[in-house]
Amino acid sequence: MVRTKLICLAGALALSAAMPAFAQDADTSDKNVALSNNYAGNSWRQAMIKSWQEATAKAVEDGVVASADANTTAENSATEQAAQLQNMILQGYDAIVLNAASPTALNGAVKEACDAGITVVSFDATVTEECAWRIAVDFKKMGVDQIDYLAERYPDGGPLLEIRGLPGTSVDEQIHAGILEGIEKHPQFEIAREVQGDWTQTVAQKSVASVLPSLPDVVGVVTQGGDGYGAARAFEAAGREVPTIIMGNRSDELQWWKEQKDENGYETFSQSIAPGVSTLGFWVAQQILAGADVPKDLQVPTLRIDQDGLDQGLEMTPEGGVTNKEYTREEAQELISSAK
């Protein structure tokens, strides 16, 4: 089944009629919002930007805000993104929605923005600066869940290959910490080798291929998303049996999994934060600008696809894209209320 508590948000909207009017309904039609993104080199980031552009274009057309520009740095560089944020401060934006290159290296620029009266909402890869808001899934739990799953499949444990994400980001650090916590919980597993995948199939394939000649037989590959299909192709090209690879909701991963499942009963699961979390970042920023009292930390569930939900997951996933969920203003309001 496709397991996600996101559907609960939609169901809970039926209760909104009984709730008092939101202070968040105040006019923000003269407000200018910007997206600051540090990286666009994989399908998840591209889907994230597309979701932002589609949702905010409608918001601008409807007069909810005056503008909602999307900006991405050329490199995954905290220094470059800090300069981008400083330019946004000079341009006079009212809110910046931020997917950050580092949880700490941007804190100075974020504080400058806050001191200038700008609302800063970080999402996915968040920042630790106290003046900013944060929206994310429990990435550490995503790491723990992978080891829990493998412990059910392989009670005797065994060596694992770990594929890391984009260096320096909070997402990479938290998922890795969760994997280590899971191994502490299930000490029959150990990390035989760690490689960098950058959340990108091509990078992951090259990195995995480079270690396969010296890699022992592994029972599983723990991942961060965007790397599963590349890992599978590397094992296949080397003529080695493909271990259990945790997938990350990309269409090529899910299609490969489907083919293997039909052919030989291959089993795994897939999980990721929805790229449309960028739209939640936008609506949360808009609500703050409208005067809403919003908790500094908001958490959304992962989108998880299990073995019996693979066909449904594929139907939800555009070709070449990522399984997604986009948010409305009403869903943002409901999430804010439930977080209180």
In this predicted structure, what is the pLDDT of residue 183?
Answer: 98
Answer yes or no: are the C-beta atoms of 108 and 83 closer than 8 Å.
no
In this structure, the chain runs to a length of: 340
Give, for 299, the enclosing helix (H) or strand (E): strand 297-299
In this predicted structure, what is the pLDDT of residue 26?
Answer: 87
**What six digits make up the tokens of 78?**
């905290």
In this predicted structure, what is the pLDDT of residue 55?
Answer: 98
Q: Which residues contact 117 (CB under 8 A, 6 or more apart)?
A: none
In this predicted structure, what is the pLDDT of residue 1?
Answer: 57
98-147 residue pLDDT tens: 999 999 999 999 999 999 999 999 999 999 999 999 999 999 999 999 99
Identify the residue whose tokens are 């996600």.
4
Give the span between the Cα atoms of 55 and 327, in whole angstroms.
9
Identify the residue whose tokens are 């939900």.
309
Confidence of residue 37 (pLDDT cuts 50, 70, 90): very high
Indicate whether 249 pLDDT > 60: yes
Q: What are phi and psi of 35, to 5 degrees?
A: -95, 130
Share of the chain above pLDDT 70, in %: 93
**What six digits make up the tokens of 7?**
């559907």
In this predicted structure, what is the pLDDT of residue 24?
Answer: 52
257-300 residue pLDDT tens: 999 999 999 999 999 999 999 999 999 999 999 999 999 999 99
Indicate whether 227 pLDDT > 80: yes
In this predicted structure, what is the pLDDT of residue 340?
Answer: 84
38-59 residue pLDDT tens: 999 999 999 999 999 999 999 9
All domains in the chain, ordered by first residue:
2-137+273-339 (3.40.50.2300), 139-272 (3.40.50.2300)
Strand partners, 123: 135
Share of the chain above pLDDT 90, in %: 91
Indicate whether 13 pLDDT > 70: no
Please indicate, yes or no, whether the overall pTM of this predicted structure exceeds 0.85.
yes
Q: Which of 55, 125, 4 is nearest to 276 (CA)?
A: 55
Strand partners, 68: 33
